[in-house]
Structure formats: structure tokens, C-alpha cells
Structure 1
Amino acid sequence: MPLFQFGTKTIEYELTRSNRRKTVSISVNQQGVQVVAPNTAEEQTIENILHRKGTWIRTQLLNFEEMKQSCLQRKFISGEKLPYLGRQYRLKVIKTNESIKPEISFYQGQFRAYVHTEIPEHQYRELLMPLYVEWVKHRGMIFTKDRMNKFSDKFQHYPNSIVIKDQEHRWGSCTPARNILLNWRIFLAPASIVDYVLVHELAHLKYMNHSNEYWDTVRMLLPDYEQKKEWLRVNGSTLNI
């Protein structure tokens, strides 16, 4: 595989040539860096573009490395990281002698959990995970309403309701009654991926199928939806705790 040097780091990338492309496209996923370039693009031109995007590429690679490590089931102990909208936030567990129920909050860029000193660590996940999920659902709903308003105003179609729940096999769905259901785990993904799922379901308010007209609507609302769709296909299995 070809390489390029960015600072002190040597980065591999997979290069694909295409006579259908007019510009160089760079993407990063769990498999690494993927470059699609026109047949006529010179290697030096490609390398120059990689260097210009070097900081972004390194950040994406680090994010995927964190995702791989986060696939291990969390124990909800101090020092672990919990995801939200594509970022990882450290968890700090605070033990207290006060007679309080376990609780979890987000403060100054980190999750904080409060548990009684007599609760053993092996019970933390059982007690704290439901609280974390409820936090994600609550914050996810705030995010969803804001983003959905933006897309709905452009599309001029509005759902009757939005529900965030635990869905085993779908990231989202749209019912005949014009209700949009979202899997809470989608809010572990980057915000742009959540946008794709919202647009995917919103377009179903007009087209309850996956016809050409449907995908044209998705593209109108989110021109680069294909990249988001592919990201979700490749990385969806990492969206868990």
C-alpha cells in the first residue's frame, strides 16, 4: 500500500483510480484511509492533498482506534470513556456515604456518577448504564428536534412525533402514522451520521419506499448522504457500550 508522511507519523492509504472521478476523494473508516482519484491525477498531486488533509486524517484514525477499544463492554468505572455524538468523554465515579440513589450527569466535559461507597464495582454497570442511556435519550431528543426542524423546514414535511427507544435491528423507522422512531445508539455516532438517519426517515414521510424519487429527496436534504450511509454500514457495530 502507498504511504505518506505527516509529521512523525507514516500513514498507509489505499488508492483506487477511476475514470468517473474528476476530483480526489479521501475517506477514513475502520479499514484505514481510502483515496479515490481520477486516472489522470499525478501521484504528487494526490500526496499534496493528503498532506493538506493530514490533521483531519490523523484525528479520524485516532477516533476509530478509540472506537475499536470501546467495543469492549464497559464496566462503568472511573477512567472509562463513554461516547456521545462521535466523541468520547471520560467517566468519573464519585463514592459517597450519603443515602442517595446512583445518578449520572455531565459536567465540564466529563460524565460524573455518584454511587454509595458500599456498592461494589461489579454492580456499577447494572446500576449506571440505564442512567447513561436515559441521559443519551434526553440529550439526543434535544439534538434531534433542533436538526429535524432544519430539515423539515426545507422539506416542508413534519413528523407527528419523534420517539427515541431501544431498537434491535434498525437505526430508525417511520410509521404510517408519520411517527419517527430512533434507536438511542445512533446518538453515539458523529452528528453528521445522526443527520443521515434523520433525513432517511424524514424522506419516508413522503415516500414510504426506497424509490429513485425517495433517494433524490434524501440527496436534496443531505447531498453527501452516500458517505454517511457507508460510514454507518462499516461502523454501525461499534455503536454500543
Structure 2
Amino acid sequence: MKIEFENNIIEFNVQYGKRKKISLHIDSIGHITVKAPKDTSEEIIISAMEQHGKLIMEKLQAIAKAQEIPKTREYQEEGKFLHLGKEYFLHELIETGELMEEELKKNLKKFYFASCKKIVGERITRYQTELRVKPKTIDIVESRTKWGSCSSDKKLTFNYRLAMAPIEVIDYVIIHELCHLLHMNHDRSFWRRVGSIMPDYKEKQDYLARYGQSMTL
């Protein structure tokens, strides 16, 4: 479902169950879930969301701000960059020589693309076998807003910046996107399937929300 609040579209998932009241949950990456009694009408749910519109927008804006990508980096031998969750000096990741900043940045991005492609290629085999799914294609891309995506025609993409995250966080994003081959929405069935493979997936979400802004060039 979705509502419009002060010219902003707020999308959310609804979970119906045996409960007495409507409750609202916004996770660390901005997914909104409304839990409602089984026979609650759509009008009542929308009304409840509209009443909390200001609070929801404040929360979403805070999450977006925390995920903003810093603009400055030191491209020199002793500049530090993340790889698989650990900090390395630039010269430990790529050849630096007498290269200028733009060339260093270009080469470092190539390094991350190659690293991400290798890691995802190695890790995804295990999980697609476990989930009994097979994506049509797997691509590594550059994105400012998404760590991964799954299209309706079973094409998966992964953000090259994932190579900066710990392996278990990369695994979470892989599992997340593979589960979308079974459930395109973030409904209860989707999260149950993610949790069946990675019970502590919320910790990985929190990592991306907390440290995603530092995983950048």
C-alpha cells in the first residue's frame, strides 16, 4: 500500500494477524511494515498511516541522511579504504606509483568491481542451490541507493561497493536478492525465507545502515 504525505509517497507493507492494535515498524534501511488485526479495512490502515505521516517522514529522512555518501577521500598511498570489512592503505589494494588522483580513483573502482564480481560469483552458488533458485543474469553495477536488486525477469544486480563490506554482510545481500526470485515483495513470507537461511539478517541490515556511508570512493 502507499499514501501521499506532504507531496511525498510513502510505501509500506501490511501484515495481518491475530492482534488487537495496529503497529508500525520502520527497519534500519527504511522498509515500513504495518501490522494490523486480521479484518482491518484498508481505509483504517491508511488513516493510521496518515496520522503518523510526519513522524514517518522524519524517520525516513534520518535514515537517508545516515546513508549519505561522503564526498572527500584521500587518494594517496597512506589513504585508507575498506575491503571486506577491514581498512587497508591504498597501496595495499592497488599499485599507486606516480599516478594522479583521477587515475588512482579509476583503478581503485576497477579493483572493487573485480573483487565484488569474484566474491558474489563464489558465494551465490551455495545460496542459490540452498534456495533452489537460479537468476537469469548476475551483474555488478554502480549505485548510490541500492546494495542489490532483483528484476521481474530474474536479473540480479549487486553494488560494487559491497566489496567493502564483511563477507557475512555480502552474503545477506545475496540471500536477500535470491529470495526475491521467490517473493518479489517484502512480505512476511519473504522475510521468513531470508531468516531461514540467515536468522541474524537484521544485524547485517544494521551494519549497512550504520556503515554504508563510509563504504564509498
Q: TM-score scaled to structure 1, two decimals?
A: 0.58
Task: Name stretches of at least 5 consecutive residues in structure 2 with no aligned partner.
Answer: 1-69
* 1:204 corresponds to: 180
CA distance, structure 1, for counterparts of residue 126 and residue 120 of structure 2: 10
Count of residue correspondences? 148
SS at match of 2:213: helix
Q: Check conservation: 1:83, 1:188, Cα contact below 8 A.
A: yes
Map 1:130-209 to 2 at 5 A: 130-209=106-185
Corresponding letter in the other structure for 2:129: D
Alignment counterpart, residue 95 of structure 2, candidates 94, 113, 120 = 113
CA distance in 1, matches of 2:180, 2:110: 27
Query: In structure 1, how many angstroms separate the alpha carbons of the residues matched to 2:211 and 2:94?
Result: 27
SS at match of 1:113: coil
Structure 1 equivalent of residue 81 of structure 2? 82
SS of the equivalent of 2:195 reads: helix
Code of the residue aligned with 1:191 in structure 2: it is I
**In structure 2, what residue type is equivalent to 1:224?**
D
Shift in Å, 1:172: 0.8
Dislocated runs of 4+, deviation >6 Å? none
1:115 is displaced (CA, Å) by 4.2
CA distance in 2: counterparts of 1:208 and 1:112, whole angstroms? 38
Once the two structures are TM-superposed, the CA of residue 239 in structure 1 deviates from its matched residue by 1.1
Q: How does 1:88-99 map to 2 (within 5 A)?
A: 88-92=87-91
Give the aligned residue type for 1:228: K
Aligned equivalents of 1:221, 1:146: Cα separation in 2:
17
Larger radius of gyration: 1
- Overall identity of the aligned pairs, in %: 26
**1:221 aligned to which of 197, 201, 214:** 197
Amino acid in structure 2 at the alignment position of 1:89: Y
The one-letter code sitting in structure 2 at the alignment partner of 1:199 is: I
Contact 1:199 1:218 survives alignment (8 Å)? yes
Give the partner amino acid of 1:147: R
Q: TM-score under structure 2 normalisation?
A: 0.64
Larger RCO of the pair (alpha carbons < 8 Å, separation 6+): 2
- Whether contact under 8 Å (2:77, 2:96) holds in the other structure is no
| Structure 1 Cα separation of the partners of residues 163 and 129 of structure 2 | 22
Q: Distance in 1 between matches of 2:158 and 2:94?
A: 26
In structure 1, the gaps of 5 or more residues are 1-70, 93-109
Q: Is the Cα–Cα contact under 8 Å of residues 85 and 189 in structure 1 kept in the other structure?
A: yes
How far has the Cα of 1:73 moved from its partner?
A: 2.5
- Once the two structures are superposed, what CA deviation does each residue of 1:182-236 show, in whole Å capped at 9, x if it has no partner? 1111221111111111111110001110111100110111111011112212221
Residue 164 of structure 1 contacts residue 181 of structure 1 at CA under 8 Å; is this kept in 2?
yes
CA distance in structure 1 between the partners assigned to 2:115 and 2:216 by the alignment: 17
Task: Identify, as 1 or 2, the structure richer in strand.
Answer: 1
